[in-house]
Amino acid sequence: MRTIQRPRRYRLRRRPPALPAFWCRLTPPQGFVDYLQKRDWELLFSARDIPYRFDKFSGREHLYVPPLYEGIARYELAAFSREARTPPSALPSLPAHAHTGWTALLPLFLVLWHGWREGWWRCPFPWPDAASWDRLGELDSARIAVHEEYYRFVTALTLHQDAPHLWGNVLFGLIFLPLLARAAGAGRALLICLLGGSLGNVANYLFRQHAFISLGFSTAVFAALGALSGVATLSQRKKALLPLAAGMALISLLGTGNEDVDYLAHCCGFGAGFLLGMLEGAQDRFAPAWQIPQIVAWLLSLLLPLLAWRWAFFG
């Protein structure tokens, strides 16, 4: 008896049976190249609200879309491919000034000043006690309103309540001041910091409806942060609000605390510093000849607290 062997019939399976009829395949016959390509397509179609489905066939994964969306999907994929091949545009570079480390002398001087007042080490000349310094220089809104002691807007920046208050301001000052000096120069960075802190104290005094007492360098520290946001905002064109949003996020993260923290003073300092930073960036771009020289700005930043304390002592 002879066995007849029939020829085998091979059936070409073109689409998985679970897919709806007439859905179109967008992937090449070999499927996705790698996982990154699959992730990018999935994110693209999800963002553009294009319905899609994944299905595996012979160990290869493919992507299918309805026929009415085929043209839109291929257009989006072509646009995505062109954008991926285009090199990213370089961000505008901020001016990089030298000698930024000199700004660290201001926070270190605050440590020396606080140590002399608190008696951490002996002062080389006669010195009032710490309580006398606080009464004479703190931001007392009642004395400003009654006796017009406007020097307190500046002198309050040089006083601190205790050591943790001091070290916190010194730490953030050592971070923000060199960054601001890199964009504006060491002299103008110090001047912007002190002017922004003083103007922030003025705004804090004007906005509050009740008597209060405030002191600390934190208003000037957040003025430096605001100035950084202002300079960066002016240098951006398409995404100008990103530096401002980043600065506001930092102040919300670093400028809050317990009930002793003057949050309004931090916000006022940030706002004043932001305006001064915008002015610095505008001068650097449009009128660099009118900028204050670094050495002059450094001398002005030194004279500002000295003249304020002289007014406090001698009227």
Please give the domain boundaries of the chain with CATH numbers for all domains: 24-84 (3.30.70), 100-314 (1.20.1540.10)
> What is the pLDDT at residue 195?
95
> What is the pLDDT at residue 10?
47
pLDDT in tens, 157-186: 999 888 888 898 899 999 999 989 988 888
Of residues 148 and 97, the one with the higher pLDDT is 148
**Residues 190-209: what's their mean pLDDT?**
93
Element (H, E) at 222: helix 218-235
> What is the pLDDT at residue 189?
92
Contact 192, 180 (CB under 8 A): yes
Distance CA 258, CA 253 (A): 13
11-15, 101-105, 132-136, 291-295: which has the minimum mean pLDDT?
Answer: 11-15
> What is the pLDDT at residue 88?
62
pLDDT in tens, 98-111: 778 888 888 888 88
Distance CA 311, CA 307 (A): 6
Give the pTM: 0.69
> What is the pLDDT at residue 89?
61
φ and ψ at residue 24, rounded to 5 degrees: -100, 140
Check whether 207 has a pLDDT greater than 70: yes
Q: State the average pLDDT for the chain.
A: 84
**Residues 203-223: what's their mean pLDDT?**
90
Check whether 290 has a pLDDT greater than 70: yes
> What is the pLDDT at residue 156?
93
Contact 106, 173 (CB under 8 A): yes
Mutual orientation of helices 263-286 and 241-254 as an angle, nearest 10°? 150
- Give 191's pLDDT tier (boundaries 50, 70, 90): very high
Check whether 284 has a pLDDT greater than 90: no
HSE-CB of 285 using CA atoms within 13 angstroms: 15
pLDDT in tens, 6-51: 555 544 455 556 677 788 888 888 888 888 888 999 999 999 899 9
Is the C-alpha dihedral spanning 272, 277, 278, 283 positive or negative?
positive
**Percentage helix, strand, coil for the chain under 3-state DSSP, each rounded to 5:** 65, 5, 30
Is the C-alpha dihedral spanning 132, 134, 137, 143 positive or negative?
negative
Is the C-alpha dihedral spanning 295, 296, 299, 305 positive or negative?
negative
DSSP state of 212: -
Distance CA 188, CA 68 (A): 62
